[in-house]
Structure 1
Amino acid sequence: MKMIKIALSALLLIATTSCQPETKNTNTTQVVTQEAVKEVIADPVDLQNYETAYFASGCFWCVEAIFESVKGVAEVYSGYSGGPEKNPTYEQVAYGRTRHAEAVEVYYDPEVISFTQLVQVFFGSHDPTSLNRQGPDRGAQYRSIAFYKNEEEKKIITDYIELLESKEVYGRPIVTQVKEFETFYKAEPYHQDYEKRNPNNSYIRNVSIPRLNRFKENFKSYLKEEAH
């Protein structure tokens, strides 16, 4: 009986710590959470003055929070990229009905943080040896992808992968896709700044915040003052 209780508790934890929708009908959740979006202040800066970078490394709630803590980053949006389908929805992507991955769009100041450093943040904040999985989230929609917009960015990514593997940093082969960037579809409004606005969500408490804290511990020199 004790073993059964332990097993049920483990299953409950997994069920409540998933980035996927709890039900196939997310309309109720969307209506409720979109009300909170009204409290989010509009972009305080002109983002046209910043460079952009794109990454996918698991649930975009986690990834967005990590990059937003990095100095030189002005804004980060959660969204979908890496697949051919146009205008995908969260439900479609989260249930693996597209070839997109949950991704982020990072607006950054290259005079403060370089693309090379953002690549270091990317590889240092997730497990790039885990195929189609990050933490409790499984499926190709959670795969690791480093997108590049030109040959220079591609070389930075591939050179860094070679460096990590030559030093056997992870002890296993890196399975991150190095993929040319095509299109980024911004996720629904209620996903933006999700961690900040939903601190009591079980997934945020058990998965996202611990992941963010591990990153902060290892990349202290990369953090904004308010992120320390």
Structure 2
Amino acid sequence: METIGFGGGCHWCTEGVFQALRGVAQVDQGFIRSEVPWEAAAEGVIVGFDPAVISLATLIEVHLRTHSANGTYSPGGRYRSAVYVFTAEQRAVAEIAIDQFASASREAPRTLVLAFVGFEPSAPRYRNYYRTDPQRPFCRRYIDPKLDFIRRHFTDNALPDAAAASADLAPPRTE
């Protein structure tokens, strides 16, 4: 197993996205800190995954395509777009993936590659937010479109879901 952190948008959304992927064994949502000047806690998830089933590069691509990786929305800095790395090897993979994403989108990336320093989990009532009640209006409006996007564009990596929507849906809505 390997561990990586992701921040971008609401951690309820980010948690739901990574829980929908094959090879992801654990997703812990909460608040991640890095080094100065990024030491303030921001919403994010810590993902435990099996690199024999899903690559780090694929996880990063999913992350970049399911939140506003090039946008500027971040109220109070708590929605930092970032990949939180634990090793130099992860840093190299993340930098390449972000550069490729930026080149394909023709926009400068705002997603940062940051060292993981600390994590504080969310309150228990917020964990597994999507899984505990996917019918919540927030889930239907923000998370469902992201999951539909994964099912369409990352079919080999998506977990099966009998409730999957048709391929006619629009791309995910980002916060």
Distance 1:110 1:160 in 2: 16
1:84-123 equivalent positions in 2, closer than 5 A: 99-123=40-64
Query: How far apart in 2 are the matches of 1:178 and 1:157?
Result: 7
Aligned to 1:218: 153
Candidates 194, 201, 212, aligned match of 2:136: 201
Give the match for residue 150 of structure 1.
87
The alpha carbon displacement at 1:220 in A equals 1.2
Higher radius of gyration, 1 or 2: 1
CA distance in 2, matches of 1:128, 1:189: 28
What's 2:97 paired with?
A: 160
Work out whether 1:70 is the aligned partner of 2:5.
no
Note the residue ranges of structure 1 that are not aligned, 5 or more in a row.
1-49, 85-97
Question: Superposition pairs for residues 175-194 of structure 1, below 5 Å?
Answer: 175-194=110-129
The answer (yes or no) to whether the contact 2:3–2:86 under 8 Å persists in 1 is: no
**Which residue does 1:128 correspond to in 2?**
69
Partner of 1:45: none
Identity of aligned residues (%): 28
Query: Could you tell me which residue of structure 1 aligns to residue 170 of structure 2?
Result: none
Letter in 1 for 2:144: I
Output the CA distance in 1 between the equivalents of 2:120 and 2:61: 24
TM-score, normalization by structure 1: 0.64
The aligned counterpart of 2:33 is 82
The one-character-per-residue Cα deviations of 1:14-51 (angstroms, maximum 9, x if unpaired) are: xxxxxxxxxxxxxxxxxxxxxxxxxxxxxxxxxxxx22
Provide runs of 4+ in structure 1 moved above 4 Å. Answer: none
For residues 211 and 139 of structure 1, what CA distance do their matches in structure 2 show? 24
Q: Distance in 1 between matches of 2:66 and 2:114?
A: 19
Deviations along 1:101-148, one digit per CA (max 9) or x if unpaired, are 111011111211122221122112222111244xxxx44111201111
Give the TM-score taking structure 2 as reference length.
Answer: 0.82
Contact preservation (8 Å) 1:67, 1:73: yes
More helix per residue: 1
Shift of 1:200: 3.0
Cα gap change, 1:211 to 1:224, in 2 (>3 Å) = closer
Contact 1:131–1:143 (CA under 8 A) maintained in structure 2: no
Whole-angstrom CA distance in 1 between matches of 2:161 and 2:146: 18
Aligned equivalents of 2:113, 2:49: Cα separation in 1: 20
Q: 1:110 and 1:82 mapped to 2: Cα distance?
A: 24
CA distance in 1, matches of 2:101, 2:33: 24
Instruction: Report Cα offsets for 1:156-176 as digits up to 9, x if no partner.
Output: 11112222223xx22321101
